[in-house]
Structure 1
Amino acid sequence: MTTLDILIPTCDRPGALAATLTSLTAQTAQPFRVVISDQGERAATERPEVQTALRVLDLHGCPVEVHRHLPRRGMAEQRQFLLEQGRAPYVLFLDDDLILETWVVKQLLGAIRRERCGFVGSAVIGLSYRADVRPHQQAVEFWEGPVTPETVRPGTPAWERYQLHNAANLLHVQERFAPTPEQTRLYKVAWVGGCVLYDRACLEAVGGFGFWRELPEEHAGEDVLAQGRVMARFGGCGVMPSGVYHLELPTTLPNREVDAPKVLEV
């Protein structure tokens, strides 16, 4: 059994999914297992660009499991389904519209093993904002000692940490403090979007994404709520440098009126 399962929810983004999977083929921390849950109108894995990336992963000894998971019941249920397919001690939830540097997975695994916390994440960077420097959104709190549990809720000062993950703020900060993977720094977060590695036992201990039954089908923030609950019991952090870049496509979840951490308890 591999140490890591990479769990990818996808919906009608075959080109983006192919780019994300191609990034995985170049990761130095192989082998791992990839599980895809596809809720698109047409199966993305039928597209040749996706099939090729999957074949390369298989060539590298990384088994791939693809599920057509329908009907749609919202992102929290989609993530819970993926979690239930997990078998490895670590699970990396990875969005389907990202490009990863070759060292990202190895860095995340190293960080979570050292800290023995609930999650570590590489926040995504929008490179179209590279020239948009926002000093007022670049406050950072580093973990100088071990990562420990903390409760972060909407409306608290710690919640404002999210601003560091806007635009390309993280890129500008890491250029000063952690420009290479050999200079890894861990920092305090409100949450991390897109690329988050969990200790599977910790995520399951807080119920995973089982709260999907308490939410309407159209919702957002399910990853934020799950991370908040893990962080409160086991601790969590961001990893710098990130090495994860957003394709900056339109969201597939336009209705964001119901924000999970604002309607359910962290």
Structure 2
Amino acid sequence: MSRPLDAGTSEEFRRERALDVLIPTRNRPAELAVTLSGLAAQEGVPGFGVVVSDQSDGEPAYRHPAVATMVRVLRHRGHPVLLTRRLPRRGLAEHRAYLLGCSAARRVLCLDDDVWLEPGAVARLVTALDELGCGFVGNAVHGLSYVDDVRPETHRHYEEWTGPPVPETVRPDTPQWQRASIHPAANLLHVTEKLDLPPGTWRAYKISWIGGCVLYDRARLVEAGGFDFWRRLPRRHQGEDVAAQLAVLARHGGAGVLPSGAYHLESPTTVTERDVEAWEVVLAAPDAPRPA
């Protein structure tokens, strides 16, 4: 039997550092353990913090021995970890807003609880964000069960940035919106294989939005409103990450980073209540007042 796990306190955790990883989770102890194992194997970004906020129906996932072990591994390797509960559930956007409020880091990585990151992925994202000077960068997640499902018609939407990303207003009725078609399944993996990049190199490409693994300049995310729009949404929504990214894109620009080191675990979704697209509500009333 393992000993009880110390959850940590917000006061001790919320300190200025280079990077914090923000992970919302619900009813996924196995997936969360895999996600944390990927973080524990990262090199080149010492001392990043990790916040896990759990909204499970029963006991929090971090009570599971596998998750608790990975938390201890992260701490052993010098990474502060804060474990929290956020109940009652008020929707995905509120959950992300809460996680963002737990951090005072200069950069924040919004990471879903069903994504494994290969070694070096976080360091590559940090390098890209710093060199590009934009509001966010991201790794689209690969679904390896689709590795033999090649969809060349989607590859035409891949377009690299030839200089620093510039602000863009991306909307569903614009050609830029179609860029998202390179992210499902294993499309981006097939694009990467065609490019045959030398080891250690990366490319920035144009995006509409990225799901699962997005690194923000925290100040720029907050300046764009963060996830404060949660008060304007019903609890049963999705697309909160899209809404936040569109706001940052319009002010500071953003980019996808290739190769992606993010792999989707392809587990059944825990987001089963999808009555409203958050980005549609936000775009319909972009000048609505922010909450006090």
Give me the whole-angstrom Cα distance separating, in 2, the residues matched to 1:86 and 1:168: 32
Conserved 8 A contact 1:152-1:232: yes
- One-letter amino acid matched to 1:175: E
Give me the whole-angstrom Cα distance separating, in 1, the residues matched to 2:47 and 2:223: 26
1:36 to 46, 52, 76: 52
Number of positions where the alignment pairs a residue of Structure 1 with one of Structure 2: 266
Q: 2:7 maps to which residue? A: none
Summarize deviations over 1:73-109 as a string: whole Å, max 9, x none: 0000000000001111000000000111101100000
**What is the deviation of 1:166?**
1.1
1:251 to 264, 269, 292: 269
**What is the deviation of 1:158?**
0.6
Give me the whole-angstrom Cα distance separating, in 2, the residues matched to 1:40 and 1:260: 22
Conserved 8 A contact 2:117-2:263: yes
Distance 1:180 1:197, change over 3 A: farther
Give me the whole-angstrom Cα distance separating, in 2, the residues matched to 1:262 and 1:154: 10
TM-score (norm 2): 0.89
Q: 1:25 maps to which residue? A: 40
- One-letter amino acid matched to 2:270: T
1:221 to 222, 233, 239: 239
Distance 1:39 1:114, change over 3 A: same
Summarize deviations over 1:202-257 as a string: whole Å, max 9, x none: 00001100000111001010000100000100010000000110000111112323
Q: If you compute each CA radius of gyration, which structure gives the higher value, 1 or 2?
A: 2
2:215 to 157, 179, 197: 197
Give me the whole-angstrom Cα distance separating, in 2, the residues matched to 1:38 and 1:181: 37
1:7 to 15, 22, 25: 22
The answer on 1:208 being equivalent to 2:226 is yes
Q: Which runs of 5+ in 2 are unaligned?
A: 1-15, 287-292
The CA RMSD measured in Å over matched residues stands at: 1.1
Give me the whole-angstrom Cα distance separating, in 2, the residues matched to 1:89 and 1:183: 24
Aligned to 2:250, what secondary structure does the other structure show? helix
| Structure 1 residues 71-150: aligned runs within 5 Å | 71-139=88-156, 140-150=158-168
**What is the deviation of 1:177?**
1.9
Summarize deviations over 1:19-61 as a string: whole Å, max 9, x none: 0000111001222000111011221111100000000001000
**What is the deviation of 1:119?**
0.2
Conserved 8 A contact 1:90-1:200: yes
**Stretches of 4+ moved more than 3 A in 1?**
178-181
Q: 2:170 maps to which residue? A: 152
Give me the whole-angstrom Cα distance separating, in 2, the residues matched to 1:10 and 1:30: 24
Give me the whole-angstrom Cα distance separating, in 1, the residues matched to 2:252 and 2:196: 25
**What is the deviation of 1:179?**
4.2
- One-letter amino acid matched to 2:80: P
